[in-house]
């Protein structure tokens, strides 16, 4: 993975820059010692490591604004960071860059139950939002598995999802407003407590922009009332095809469950060995289907969904009778990553999305690839929306295995695109999938996306080296080839 | 050279047309079906770009909840195809031609996305922007490009689908849209509470929206507006009507309607609309029908305000103290519709925007000279306006596509 070449001239001015930061930041909030900088050297994608030149830890929007302004003036690159759980290397630092950590932005600013909103600083963790409002019976719906650690600012930057986004949407569908700072140091407010922001949808653009367009310093999210009843079904299938078919039939029956998660045989066995959730071991796939709402609705839907499962060839259907049993059904799924970690020294988590009906084909081809690369793979799958998380098993201490795992991973993602899907469903492009972007997009597509970046960040100082395989100067992207002005298709009728 | 009109038949042809327009410095007004030509500022374009060639449903997979269509496909055609599979567009786009008193009442699916429309279910299900999954189009550079895909979970690159929604054709001429569709509810009931003041209604709607009863429509019609509904229980109420919609499987709807009625127990009067009347009523609310027809109000200013929901009642009241007209609340108070009487100075723009504290006001319908004179969309702060201009320049540097439709120069 090639990162932008460090600018020696910038590195040479490091101590001047530190002094300039310390003019408005407490000395301890400008990190320069090697040992502390090392703590920021990678995010959740630990295969890549690079300590930053300097780390700054601002506490106020004003400080963020001054930091960015200074970096713009000095031509210094900036990498924003929330909790550092990105699985695509989005927060990977640069040797000649400033790492801007938002951990000190950890306050819940406003909770408004009548308007069903919470306004928080970006460093607040996803789960802390729910904790802040659950006393009144509310919650924040998007629930990435990393929710105990990941920050809401990171969620906005990655447009994170969770097991409940089938019914409740991704981050982008659950935020109403942000405050952000541009690389010029300008503070912009977009949206608020009203439902749609005016003008171009900058909120939509910022969500999922991976720290390349601006730094988010405040977020207003939608909070929802907790459903009265939640129930889960644990369903075993003799083949993956039947499990996939069942998902399609449930949706075709007009039912959108709160969540529908699938695990394949290797994942089931690893999870069961790890936490004894009581998963059936004689099946090829399990589905966990969660239904929520008023009790009358959940009762009614449980009956219909159980019937569909049986008709689809399920060999076992268990309905949670208690909250403890429901949590137990989920325990194995939620512990899937550590469970895999126990059966394999290392694993590499992929994140493609496919049209759901392609699942059997994709799993079959994946098994063939596993054989070719000589590595194992286990699958957990947000089945309702086609988001696949293959976990590739490898051993980093065996020479060549990491490279093989990466090759296997990119083969899987190419396959996702080939069958009509996409490279990443929720983890982001980052550095990890950057060079695969041309699998999905033409050069024209990618240049058009970069022109949007130019509108925000004309010098390309925010998180360079992520998302785009080739960096172009904005002046070059702005150039236009003007045709000679001939009438197009002169033989066609005009009006 | 005199202005030319174009009707491209293919994406390639469209790209040629735009490239030609760039070279000839001839801006173009984009037209799908023309139902919303009176919405927005008058475009500063001499020629027309007729996009009606990009019509028809090319892919629909009900069990994958996805459809692909040409942007000029009539909304009615899309809705009919979905209804045949018991599905719908969950964001309930209004049929805006009605509001425009336009000869073409039925708009196109592309227009729905370009204007980012949404109906009463907005506060629960999102807007058009929450449902567009992918598109193809031609930028103002004359280049064919695409973004997104056909799956819901997708974070590959910037989410340009969001940017296209609500850009009013100022960034690209779309040639294909792919969007999410959802099952239609089995049963639709509406609990009506009569005689609440706007302030009481906003409180009751906030309580319902924050209840576990999963309400999917919350609107308030003052008495004079309710009287113009075609639904007998509403027009005959002789009082204001506050409506609470519950949808879903039958046992759930029955249970939730009863629970809502119990919480509204103290209201002066309660009624429940069953399926057929419910559907008619919410269609009227979606299309703002009770503020429109009769009494020859067409041509008068119609405004849409997006505000913090709990401020809706007070904001509507304060504005109508200063300008004469009628209003109604949707989205639990978060959307205010105002139909003003003729004669309001500058269509009421000054008092409306002065009363508002946050949010935005859009002139949905007004005479051409009014729309040329007052900012149709809420004016932006200088830094946001500058950013908007830079985004436009990145997609359409020569100002070929619908220039001036939103803001002068953009
Ligand atoms: C065990 C595990 C499970 C996970 N499960 C899920 C899951 O179920 N669903 C899912 O979607 N993701 C999941 N993730 C991925 C990750 O947690 C999310 O992407 C998360 O949103 C990252 O948040 P963060 O605060 O850690 O951001 P970081 O990793 O610090 O940063 C991520 C990106 O956001 C940018 N950024 C961070 N904060 C800001 C800000 N304030 N302003 C601008 N840019 C900013 C960074 O520059 C970087 O590009 C998982 C990760 C792990 C380790």
Dist. CA B323 → ligand 1 center (Å): 49
Domain, as residue range, for A152? 108-225
Say if residue A490's pLDDT is above 90: no
Query: Tokens 């907005």 correspond to what residue?
Result: B122
In this structure, the answer to whether residues B259 and B142 fall within a common structural domain is no
Domain, as residue range, for B198? 187-286
Residue of B6, B156, B167 with shortest CB distance to A429? B156
Say if residue A403's pLDDT is above 50: yes
In this structure, the answer to whether residues B28 and B171 fall within a common structural domain is yes
CB contacts of A440 in chain B (<8 Å) are 149, 156-157
Number of C-alpha atoms within 13 angstroms, CB side, residue B319? 31
Residues with CB under 6 A from ligand 1: A 43-44, 79-87, 90-91, 102, 122, 144-146, 150-151, 153-155, 157-158, 160-162, 210-211, 215-216, 337, 426-427, 463
Q: Output the pTM of the full model.
A: 0.96
Interchain CB contacts (distance < 8 Å): A and B: 301
CB B151 within 8 A of CB A432: no
Q: pLDDT-derived band of residue A159, with 50, 70 and 90 as boundaries?
A: very high
Q: Do A293 and B165 touch (CB under 8 A)?
A: no
Which of A97-111, B96-110, B341-355 is predicted most confidently? A97-111
CB B97 within 8 A of CB B38: no
Tokens for B83, please give them: 């209804």
Which of B129, B141, B158, B387 is the best residue to mutate to test the A interface, defined by the most A CB atoms within 10 Å of its own CB? B158
Residue pLDDT, tens place only, A75-84: 999 999 999 9
Phi, psi of A319 (to 5 degrees): -110, 130
Q: How far apart are CA B319 and CA A332, in angstroms?
A: 56
Give the pLDDT of residue B332. Answer: 98
In this structure, the answer to whether residues A141 and A213 fall within a common structural domain is yes
Dist. CA A450 → ligand 1 center (Å): 22
- What ipTM does the predicted assembly reach? 0.96
Residue pLDDT, tens place only, A133-155: 999 999 999 999 999 999 999 99
Q: Is position A477 within any domain?
A: no
State whether residue A425 sits within 8 Å of chain B by CB: yes
Exposed/middle/buried for B103, CB within 10 Å: 0-12, 13-18, 19+?
A: exposed
Give the pLDDT of residue B2. Answer: 60
Tokens for B78, please give them: 């899309």
State whether residue B88 sits within 8 Å of chain A by CB: no
In this structure, the answer to whether residues B388 and B245 fall within a common structural domain is no
Which residues numbered 35-64 in B keep a CB inside 8 Å of some CB on A?
48, 50, 61-64
Residue pLDDT, tens place only, B335-391: 999 999 888 899 999 999 999 989 999 999 988 889 999 999 999 999 999 999 999
In this structure, the answer to whether residues A212 and A115 fall within a common structural domain is yes
Give the pLDDT of residue A255. Answer: 96
Q: Domain with B295 in it: what CATH number? A: 3.30.70
- Measured between CA atoms, the residue of chain B closest to residue A165 is B153
Q: How many domains does chain B have?
A: 3
- Domain final residue, candidates B286, B307, B333: B286
In this structure, the answer to whether residues B14 and B106 fall within a common structural domain is yes
Give the pLDDT of residue A36. Answer: 96
CB A444 within 8 A of CB B11: no
In this structure, the answer to whether residues B154 and B37 fall within a common structural domain is yes
Q: pLDDT-derived band of residue B260, with 50, 70 and 90 as boundaries?
A: very high
Residue pLDDT, tens place only, A285-309: 999 999 999 999 999 999 999 999 9
In this structure, the answer to whether residues B348 and B330 fall within a common structural domain is yes
In this structure, the answer to whether residues B85 and B229 fall within a common structural domain is no
In this structure, the answer to whether residues A178 and A112 fall within a common structural domain is yes
What is the residue-wise DSSP string for A292-305?
EESHHHHHHHHHHH
Q: How many domains does chain A have?
A: 5
Residue pLDDT, tens place only, B380-407: 999 999 999 999 999 999 999 999 999 9
Helix (H, G, I), strand (E, B) or coil at A212: coil
Tokens for B223, please give them: 């008495």
Mean predicted confidence (pLDDT) in A246-255: 94
In this structure, the answer to whether residues A371 and A386 fall within a common structural domain is yes
Q: Is position A284 within any domain?
A: yes
Q: Is position A241 within any domain?
A: yes
Q: Domain with B406 in it: what CATH number? A: 3.30.465.10
Give the relative orientation of helices A359-373 and A240-252 as an angle to the nearest 10 degrees: 150
Give the pLDDT of residue B1. Answer: 46
Q: Domain with A388 in it: what CATH number? A: 3.30.70.2740
Number of C-alpha atoms within 13 angstroms, CB side, residue A397? 2
- Domain final residue, candidates A179, A203, A225: A225
Say if residue A493's pLDDT is above 50: no
Phi, psi of A79 (to 5 degrees): -120, 110
Residue pLDDT, tens place only, A5-50: 999 999 999 999 999 999 999 999 999 999 999 999 999 999 899 9
Q: How far apart are CA B158 and CA A210, in angstroms?
A: 9
Say if residue A212's pLDDT is above 90: yes
What average pLDDT does the structure give for chain A? 95
Tokens for A476, please give them: 């070059």
In this structure, the answer to whether residues B65 and B23 fall within a common structural domain is yes
In this structure, the answer to whether residues A444 and A386 fall within a common structural domain is no
The residue to mutate among A120, A158, A425, A426, having the most atoms of ligand 1 within 8 angstroms of its beta carbon, is A158
């Amino acid at each position: 993975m090639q990162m932008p070449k460090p600018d020696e001239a910038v590195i040479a001015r490091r101590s001047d820059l530190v002094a300039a930061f310390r003019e408005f930041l407490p000395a301890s909030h400008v990190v320069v010692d090697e040992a502390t900088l090392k703590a920021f050297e990678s995010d959740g994608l630990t295969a890549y490591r690079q300590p930053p030149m300097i780390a700054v830890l601002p506490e106020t929007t004003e400080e963020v604004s001054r930091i960015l302004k200074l970096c713009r003036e000095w031509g210094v690159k900036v990498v924003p960071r929330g909790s550092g759980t990105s699985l695509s290397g989005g927060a990977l630092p640069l040797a000649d860059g400033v790492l801007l950590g938002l951990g000190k932005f950890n306050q819940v600013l406003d909770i408004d139950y009548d308007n069903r909103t919470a306004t928080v600083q970006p460093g607040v963790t996803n789960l802390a939002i729910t904790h802040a409002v659950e006393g009144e019976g509310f919650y924040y719906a998007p629930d990435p598995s990393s929710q105990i650690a990941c920050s809401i600012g990171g969620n906005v930057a990655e447009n994170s999802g969770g097991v409940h986004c089938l019914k409740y949407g991704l981050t982008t569908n659950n935020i109403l407003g942000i405050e952000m700072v541009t690389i010029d140091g300008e503070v912009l407010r977009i949206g608020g407590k009203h439902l749609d922001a005016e003008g171009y949808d900058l909120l939509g653009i910022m969500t999922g922009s991976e720290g390349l367009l601006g730094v988010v310093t405040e977020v207003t999210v939608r909070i929802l009332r907790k459903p009265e009843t939640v129930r889960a079904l644990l369903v075993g299938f003799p083949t993956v095809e039947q499990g996939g078919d069942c998902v399609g039939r449930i949706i075709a029956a007009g039912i959108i469950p709160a969540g529908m998660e699938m695990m394949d045989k290797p994942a089931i066995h690893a999870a069961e060995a790890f936490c004894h959730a009581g998963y059936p071991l004689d099946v090829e796939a399990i589905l966990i289907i969660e239904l929520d709402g008023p009790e009358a609705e959940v009762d009614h839907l449980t009956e219909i969904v159980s019937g569909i499962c049986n008709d689809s060839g399920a060999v076992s259907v268990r309905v949670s009778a208690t909250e403890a049993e429901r949590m137990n059904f989920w325990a194995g799924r939620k512990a899937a990553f550590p469970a895999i970690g126990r059966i394999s020294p290392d694993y590499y988590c992929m994140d493609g999305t496919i049209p759901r009906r392609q699942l059997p084909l994709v799993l079959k081809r994946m098994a063939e690839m596993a054989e070719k690369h000589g590595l194992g793979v286990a699958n957990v799958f947000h089945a309702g929306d086609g988001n696949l998380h293959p976990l590739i098993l490898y051993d980093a201490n065996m020479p060549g295995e990491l490279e093989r795992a990466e090759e296997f991973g990119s083969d899987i993602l190419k396959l996702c695109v080939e069958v009509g899907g996409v490279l990443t469903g929720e983890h982001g492009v980052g550095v990890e999938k950057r060079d695969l972007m041309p699998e999905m997009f033409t050069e024209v597509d990618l240049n058009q996306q970069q022109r949007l970046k130019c509108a925000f960040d004309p010098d390309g100082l925010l998180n360079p080296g992520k998302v785009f395989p080739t960096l172009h100067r904005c002046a070059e992207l702005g150039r236009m080839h003007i045709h000679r002005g001939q009438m197009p298709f002169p033989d066609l009728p005009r009006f | 050279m005199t202005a030319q009109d174009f009707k491209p038949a293919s994406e390639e042809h469209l790209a040629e047309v735009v490239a030609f327009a760039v070279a000839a410095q001839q801006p173009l007004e984009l037209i799908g079906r023309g139902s919303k030509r009176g919405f927005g500022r008058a475009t500063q374009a001499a020629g027309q770009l007729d996009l009606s060639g990009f019509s028809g449903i090319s892919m629909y997979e009900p069990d994958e909840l996805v459809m692909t269509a040409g942007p000029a496909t009539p909304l009615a055609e899309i809705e009919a195809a979905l209804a045949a599979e018991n599905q719908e567009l969950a964001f309930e786009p209004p049929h805006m031609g009605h509001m425009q008193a336009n000869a073409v009442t039925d708009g196109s699916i592309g227009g729905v996305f370009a204007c980012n429309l949404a109906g009463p279910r907005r506060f629960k299900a999102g807007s058009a922007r929450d449902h567009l999954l992918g598109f193809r189009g031609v930028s103002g550079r004359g280049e064919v490009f695409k973004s997104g895909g056909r799956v819901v979970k997708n974070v590959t690159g910037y989410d340009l689908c969001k940017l296209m929604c609500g850009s009013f054709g100022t960034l690209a001429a779309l040639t294909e849209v792919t969007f999410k569709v959802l099952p239609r509810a089995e049963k639709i009931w509406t609990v009506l509470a009569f005689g609440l003041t706007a302030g009481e209604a906003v409180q009751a709607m906030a309580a319902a929206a924050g209840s576990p009863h999963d309400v999917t429509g919350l609107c308030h019609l003052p008495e004079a507006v309710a009287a113009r509904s075609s639904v007998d229980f509403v027009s005959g109420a002789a009082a204001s009507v506050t409506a609470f919609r519950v949808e879903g499987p039958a046992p759930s709807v029955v249970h939730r309607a009863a629970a809502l009625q119990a919480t509204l127990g103290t209201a002066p009067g309660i009624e429940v609309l069953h399926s057929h009347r419910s559907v008619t009523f919410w269609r009227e609310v979606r299309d703002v029908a009770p503020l429109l027809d009769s009494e020859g109000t067409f041509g008068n200013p119609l405004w849409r305000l997006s505000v913090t929901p709990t401020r809706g009642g007070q904001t509507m009241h304060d504005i109508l103290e200063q300008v004469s007209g009628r209003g109604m609340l949707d989205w639990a108070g978060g959307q205010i519709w105002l139909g003003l009487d003729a004669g309001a100075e500058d269509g009421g723009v000054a008092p409306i925007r002065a009363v508002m504290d946050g949010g935005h006001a859009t002139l949905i319908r007004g005479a051409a000279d009014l729309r040329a004179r007052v900012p149709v969309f809420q004016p932006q702060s200088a830094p946001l306006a500058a950013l908007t201009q830079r985004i436009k320049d990145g997609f359409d540097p020569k100002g070929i596509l619908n220039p001036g439709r939103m803001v002068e120069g953009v």
